[in-house]
Structure formats: structure tokens, C-alpha cells
Structure 1
Amino acid sequence: MLISLNRKTVLTFYLSIVRPCFVYSQTNMSSGSVDSDKYSVVYVTVPNDEVGRTIGHGLVKNKLAACVNSIPGITSIYEWKNEINEDKETLLMIKTRTSQVDKLTEYVRSNHPYEVCEVISVPIKNGNPPYLKWIGDIVPE
């Protein structure tokens, strides 16, 4: 049986069914969105590079982080005890499993010199799948 289709019907079918399915499958395969929220980036500010290195090494050694980037030379402007302060700090950008963020936070709190230290996390929504796998290989559930 031969079906006669005009160009408009074929184009409509392609644009509404075939192409969206292809784009969706390519997006999921290349962006790592299958593992959405499984991994997180945690930000911690520290007073200097030495404290950052100490905390960073401890996090990686204890398998709470796969990688810690230490970014020196940031300026933090904040209110503390009714005063506006401005300090030079170092920012730690930490890659880990989302399931380990609470343990990571406790480690930072117990090894950080500040009375109240910044520990905030953001889930990784997309990423390079081999890199995300590497985080998972380094940081156990």
C-alpha cells in the first residue's frame, strides 16, 4: 500500500515529532542532565590561601570532595554585628556529591576559623558526563 504524503504533512511530522525527539535525546546524552542534582558545587569563603589549602586538602583526603578550586583575591563586603565590613578573602569552589553536602558542611564548620562560616551549595544541573562520573568515582555515596 502506497501512502501519498504532501510536503506540508511531511514537514509538520518532522518538526512536531521527529526533530523534538532527536534534540531531546542529544541534549540528555551530551549535557549530563540525566544526573541532574546528583552532584553539587559548594562555595566556602576563607580568610586566606593557607586556610583554604588546609580545608581543601582535608576535604579531598576525607573523600568529601573530588576537587577544590582555591580562588584568591576576592573582596567580600558584608554586615556583621551591625557594622559594614570589607575583607580580602579566598573562595573555595568545591565539587562533590549532593548526598555528601551535610558531612562536608560539618567538616568545614569544625575546621574553619570564622564564628559563622559561609557554606552554600548549588546543584549541578548540567555538566560533562565524564567529569560528573569522575566526581562520583572519587566521592562515595
Structure 2
Amino acid sequence: MIVNSSVLISAILLSFSRRLGVLAMGDISFTSTNNTISSKYSGIHSIAYVTTPTEDVAKKLAHGLISEKLAACINIVPKITSIYLWEGKVNEDNEAMMIIKTKTSKVDDLTHYIKKNHPYSVCEVISTKIDNGNEAYLKWVDESVP
């Protein structure tokens, strides 16, 4: 197979410039597994999802979580449709969705707060760890949630 030398040189330079660009980004810690870049904050933060019967209930819970420093930021999606099986019956309800950014170490306390103050007998509180993202934002979450 004959390879055009200018194409080969271009590919090598492009690969080198990408690596150099990544290194110039600053004090981010990197892992090279599967070409993914992982922040030094990987796993320290979580996103929790909570559904509520109304936007007003979501706002009340959100204000409490922020005041108690259990979350840094909460987005409220005012109208979602939830279809679920409850007590042997398929239900369809309009709800609000809370998207809560917090520290992973606070998820248990956050869950306790939601369960204590939520009107549902069995409320949804699920979470997932954040593997990477805007490091400045994640640092701000750290400062907001001690």
C-alpha cells in the first residue's frame, strides 16, 4: 500500500496538536481509557431526580434543599407526563421534575429531606454520579454544598 506522505504527515500533526491542546487546558486530571477525559472531580458530585405532583411543591422542596445546603442548584421542569404501575394499576399523571446538583456525599441527607417533606408516600429520589463536566461549575458546587 502506498501512502501519500503529506497525508501521513498531516495525520501525525493533527494527532499531536490535539494532544497538545488537551495538555494546555490546565489543571484537569486525565485518564486515557477509551479516549475519555475525566475531571479530578469524577464521582464527587451527583445529579438527583425527584418528581413532584406540582411545580409549587417542587419549588418549596428546592428552596428547602438550597437553604439546608444539600444542593447547589435545582432545575425544575414544570410539566412532564409520568406513566407508571402503582398498586396493580397503570397510572398517567402530570408532574414536575427536579434536577438536583449536589455532592455524592450529600445524597443520603438529600433523600431523607425529600422523604420527610414530600407529599407522596413513596417519592422518587434517584441519583447518578457525575463523571466529568465543566470543572469551574463542579468547583462551584463544592463551594455551595459544604
| TM-score using structure 2 length | 0.78
Amino acid at match of 2:72: A
Match of 1:61?
Answer: 67
Q: 1:61 to 1:32 in 2, by over 3 A?
A: farther
Q: Which has the larger radius of gyration?
A: 1
Shift in Å at residue 23 of structure 1? 6.8
Conserved 8 A contact 1:44-1:120: yes
2:134 corresponds to 1:128: yes
Conserved 8 A contact 1:73-1:88: yes
Runs of 4+ residues deviating >2 angstroms? 18-32
2:116 corresponds to 1:110: yes
* Structure 2 unaligned residues grouped into runs of 5+: 30-36
Match of 2:82?
Answer: 76
Equivalent residues, number: 132
Match of 2:56?
Answer: 50
RCO higher in structure (CA 8 A, sep ≥6): 1
Q: How does 1:32-47 map to 2 (within 5 A)?
A: 33-47=39-53
Shift in Å at residue 34 of structure 1? 1.2
Aligned equivalents of 2:106 and 2:24: distance in 1? 30
Shift in Å at residue 25 of structure 1? 4.1
Conserved 8 A contact 1:32-1:129: no
| TM-score using structure 1 length | 0.81
Match of 1:95?
Answer: 101
